[in-house]
Amino acid sequence: MSLADRSRWPMTTEEEEEEERQNFIAIVTAFKQYKLFSSARVHKTESYLNTLKKEHQTMLLRYRNHLTKVRDCISTNDRVLQEMIKNVDHLFPNENKTSSDISNETNGHHVRKLKVQDLEKVQTMLKHVARDWSTVGELERKQCYGPIIEEIQKYYNEKDHDLSQIKVLVPGSGLARLSYDLACLGFYCEGNEVSLFMLIASNFVLNKCESKDQYTIYPWVHQYVNNLNREDQVAPVTFPDISPKSCGIKGQLYVSAGNFTQVYPDDNDWDCVVTCFFIDCANNVIEFIETIYRILKPNGIWINLGPLLYHFADINDENSIEPTFEDLLPIMRNIGFEIVKYETGVRTSYAQNPKSMLKQAYESIFWVCRKPLVNAENSM
């Protein structure tokens, strides 16, 4: 088994490196501030509860006790999160930085102002852990990863291919479960992720978790609404559902850090590119499609599953284009892809609380594209 991190942050200037350093320190600080930030929400509710009439407070005694349980769950989450950020300096590209340097700076005055979104992303990341690395997320993984894995195995089976020589890239790999599963099948697989929240968590699971169900978290504890029962909010989730270090990876697994469109300079390098809930993370989705086409080998395949949420569409200070699937089909063909197959209306969910009274599902698109031999050869 080969399990490692490959940092490919495209640093070109001192200013850019300083900006990335500040971002890294701020994110580590967000992990450190999780308990304070999350507990403030509980304190706000308790303070309001104390202003109610005595008879109302008496009626809500069980609810008050429940808030104490919520505090305890936040404390448990915090202990796990603090384990995650131990010795994470290798995820930052500056090799001269040490763990003590990062720790000192997060405790000092050199950090950019924390954003509420940073703190909320730490909370959200706990739900991603449940999705990718617990039995609770098994159904979602079957919905989203199952069709992708099945399609890859159709193109590259063990009878006809040495899977260790088949290079699979998973941009937007998140917590790296899909990449891990593909490596377990025998493929050479590399996940690529730009979010340090995800990189810190995946590094923890892949490199530091020694046994199955080693840790317990409470991923739904920040959901205060649409709870049928009190216990639904404070339901425990254990992870990882398998031991990553002892489950027998047949191939090789790597996780690279950096912006997908910038960190893969080599053309015609990958046999397969897999995108799952990813292509709509671009400001300009065409750049993603062009990059995928460029880095694929002739006759290589691109497998995609997900919605078209377009994450930057409603952010005021971000630019975004939001082409429909109808628009994307001729764009993909114009870039050079052969559309092998596609299917609409594939029902998928994403990091859902299975006990919530409100659930969201996507009617996702699943497609397989191929980079033709002729076009690829002519472009070389």
Two tokens at 126? 């706990």
Domain ranges of the chain: 2-379
Strand partners, 238: 216
Rounded distance between C-alpha atoms, residue 329 and residue 324, angstroms? 9
Mean pLDDT for 55-67 is 98
Mean pLDDT for 186-196 is 96
* 3-class SS of residue 206: helix
Residue with the larger pLDDT of the pair 95 and 147: 147
Mean pLDDT for 183-195 is 96
pLDDT tens readout for residues 82-100: 999 998 987 775 545 544 4
Q: How far is CA 289 from the centre of its chain?
A: 20
Strand partners, 7: 257
Is the bond preceding 240 in cis, omega lying within 30 degrees of 0?
A: yes
Is the confidence at residue 288, as pLDDT, over 60? yes
Two tokens at 380? 């070389």
Task: Give the whole-number percent of the chain exceeding pLDDT 70.
Answer: 90
pLDDT tens readout for residues 234-285: 999 999 999 988 777 899 999 999 999 999 999 999 999 999 999 999 999 9
Each residue of 298-309: b (16+ CB within 10 Å) or e?
A: eebbbbbbbbbe
At 18 the pLDDT is 85
Is residue 199 within 8 A of residue 125, CB to CB? The reply is: no
* 3-class SS of residue 332: helix
| Residue 71 Cα distances to 35, 51, 233, 238, angstroms | 9, 20, 12, 18
Each residue of 245-258: b (16+ CB within 10 Å) or e?
A: beeebebbbbbbbb
pLDDT tens readout for residues 89-146: 877 755 455 444 555 555 544 456 789 999 999 999 999 999 999 999 999 999 999 9
* 3-class SS of residue 84: helix
At 111 the pLDDT is 52
- pLDDT bracket for residue 352 (50, 70, 90): very high
Is residue 175 within 8 A of residue 84, CB to CB? The reply is: no
H-assigned helices in 296-352:
325-335
Is the confidence at residue 376, as pLDDT, over 50? no
Average pLDDT, the chain: 91
Number of Cβ within a 10 Å radius of residue 198: 22
Mean pLDDT for 176-193 is 97
Cα-Cα-Cα-Cα torsion 16, 258, 197, 317, nearest 10 degrees, comes to: 60
Number of Cβ within a 10 Å radius of residue 348: 20
Instruction: Specify the range with the lowest mean pLDDT, choosing from 81-95, 290-304, 305-319, 329-343.
Output: 81-95
At 218 the pLDDT is 98
Mean pLDDT for 188-199 is 96
What CATH fold (topology level) applies to the domain 2-379?
Rossmann fold (3.40.50)
Rounded distance between C-alpha atoms, residue 202 and residue 192, angstroms? 11
At 104 the pLDDT is 56
Rounded distance between C-alpha atoms, residue 95 and residue 93, angstroms? 6
- The DSSP code for 279 is G
Is the confidence at residue 9, as pLDDT, over 70? no
At 91 the pLDDT is 77
Is the confidence at residue 3, as pLDDT, over 50? no
pLDDT tens readout for residues 324-348: 999 999 999 999 999 999 999 999 9
- The DSSP code for 91 is G
**183, 170, 152, 162: which is closest to 3 by C-alpha?**
183
Phi-psi label, residue 299: left if phi above 0, alpha if psi -120 to 50, beta otherwise: left
Residue pointed to by tokens 């930030």: 37
Rounded distance between C-alpha atoms, residue 295 and residue 328, angstroms? 19
